[in-house]
Structure 1
Amino acid sequence: MAAGLREMRQSLHSVRVEVAERETRRDAPEDTAQSFARWSEMFLSGDRAQFLTPDSYGPLPPRRNWLAGKPFGRPLNEKSVRDAVGQVYCLRPPGDGPAEALLVPYRWIGGISDEIPYDMHVSVREEPSQYPRALPWAPPLFAGRGWAEGWQHGYPVETPYISLASSDPADWVVDRREVKDGRPAIRVWVPLSERPLAREWPVEGATTWEGLLAWFTDDSHHDLFRVEHAHHLRAEDAADAAPGRWTGDATVCRLSDFRSLPDGGRMPFAGTTTAYRQPPGEFLVWGESEEGAPDHPLVWASRTSEWRVEALEPLDPTAELWIDAPEGSYRSEGRGGQIAGVSRPWSWLVLMTGSRNGPYWALGPPAGLALVAVLVWGVRRRHPARRGRNAAP
């Protein structure tokens, strides 16, 4: 089973990929669901990456299931990035310089030309609250890459597939064979915490243990088709039926559409990640119904993210994926951001005002008042009689 994941990661070392995504969010059970969609072109090579998310990112249009984009077909560079409208994100190992760079092009409406096609009218530091952060996501493509687990969220609750694929197979515990989601499967348990002490829970003889439950197809392929992260109810006997009930929040990742890769291994070309939440302060015991919905009335699906790979092809491993931030663009180095080509105070004013011209508006009035004060002071110094001094009696 672990060998299949390792072979998949090796086959995906250097690839160009097109991924379509759609997402539904609800912060509370009574909230109206909000739907979003995006299309991204990815260039991946080891721990280096470049992502392009066009300006089509946003709410899901009516009567459209997936967004589509026009691919560039090759990695962007300092010149071609100026023709990209949307968000460009670059990643590389920290030892090679800044670990990440976020470049946000902005085009003036109406075709007004500008010498620098980068502006802060596109929110960078904080996306508008109704939009999720525009970072592409397809877990199998990122598994095994050094930046993957901490890049988007940094918590295994958000990345169960990557957490499992990146874990040490020596920590896996094969529970048993069973039927899961209508198919014969092998269930694997991966603990993420120390062995817990016994507590009094509604399920007698069970304790809560944070970890991952994974199911591989029980055939020659051993495809990983489901991963759960939660505080599971675990009985003393690992082969007991206690797993399947959870306490607290949970995240379930389902994979489908498995296809063979040209260089060996198999990969899921589609998947869904669902984050289940419960009211703050509650610690409920619950599970999934046969239809895949929570069987407790207070638990709801707060976020459902779907993705599918629309194109995948080899990429030259020597391709340059890093782009030095052009003057006027936002550059993030993991410790906050700065506008490239300007001083830090000026960059801070641009970020605070949300516009490249913001510092002029912020500093212009004070500077104008200061200039007027200096002129008045100079005139009165040069002509003291105008101040009422040395006047004739």
Structure 2
Amino acid sequence: MSKYSRKLKKLIETAPEQETAVLVALIHQHETEEMVSEHLDELAFLTETLGAKAIHRFTQRMEKPDPRTFVGSGKLEEIKAYIEYFDADMVVFDEDLSPSQMKILENELKIKVYDRSLLILDIFLKRAQTAQAKTQVELARFQYLLPRLTRMWTHLERQRGGTSTRGGAGEKEIETDKRDIRQKITLLKEKLQKIEKQGITQRKSRKGIVRVAMVGYTNVGKSTLMKLMTKADILAENKLFATVDSTVRKVVLDQVPFLLSDTVGFIRKLPTHLIESFKSTLAEIEEADILVHVVDISHPAFEDQIAVVNQTLNEMGAGDKPTIMVFNKTDLAAKMPSEEELMLMSEIEVEDASFIDFEKLERSYAKKSEITPVFISAEKGTDIDKFREILAAEVKKCHLKIYPHYLEDEVLDFSQFSEKN
């Protein structure tokens, strides 16, 4: 065996094993198994983003969660037997658990218990880069965990250590822990207030320039499009919540400057504490003149994702802003073939494919907005010029409202706007 092979073998043997997770979801009234399967696909992706591997899924048809065990005693025994046999490290529920449910489940299953909100909060904590984002997530996480401390709780011990910590504090320590958390919450709120004051001052200095915010469901390609538009070194990964921090860059199209911001992606059942803590970051959306709603058209539930984003925007009071619908990842979507192409295809090919009628979709969204929707592939660079043309026209409209007598040779200093927030 070569020196390189021995070194590689040693690295493999000493590398920590990836944690395993069991996923649990209820099938409520008016929900189909297919719908819940899609929800669990997303939950599996979230679990993978945190660093664990989903090895099994449990579903239970119930009108509402059991107040004690969430799934009922019979299904809980089934889950418990599976966890013990396969030595799973954690169980992840697709809905939020009450403090009493969390305590009962941890006592019964003897492993770490995540609900949807806690999973998302831990991912945000892992992904946050700036002082503001880290403070916001830590505050939201502490507020969420405070009423959920149990004898086996391990969540705060994973504050900086990912998903690898097991075990927990004893009953005698819980009251002390609660006091510590309350103190940390107070300190984090004070810290966040100072950061937000700086943010307000910074946003005030941007008056006089058009602001465009990119919004959309998580993992639809906003960061890839932002990178393409600005040529900036921005993280773009095939992971949920690859972007947590808001990034602002200056862009110039047709000699008109504007600010383009990439904001955190929305998701189904986004934790309330997180929305509250991220209000200052989401101010980029609230104060934007134009929204660019990026959609992953290749996702089977892209219309549901559009509805989630629109609902969140309406709750924020930003639902009536001029919006450019950008249907991304056209290279991964099966476009509806022409009649001639259909004639050449076999029946099996037609039955197995999930075609999208781009023209029908364009007509549908054109009726809802004065702005024509655009279909692109940010990854491949397809039809980006068309998007730039539509965006430039909308930016120019807003710019002329600010500067009615705008001259093409007008020179302004916008260098202060190119920093990362």
TM over 0.5: no
Largest Rg, 1 or 2: 1
Normalized per residue, the structure richer in strand is 1
Larger RCO, structures 1/2 (Cα 8 Å, 6+ apart): 1
Normalized per residue, the structure richer in helix is 2
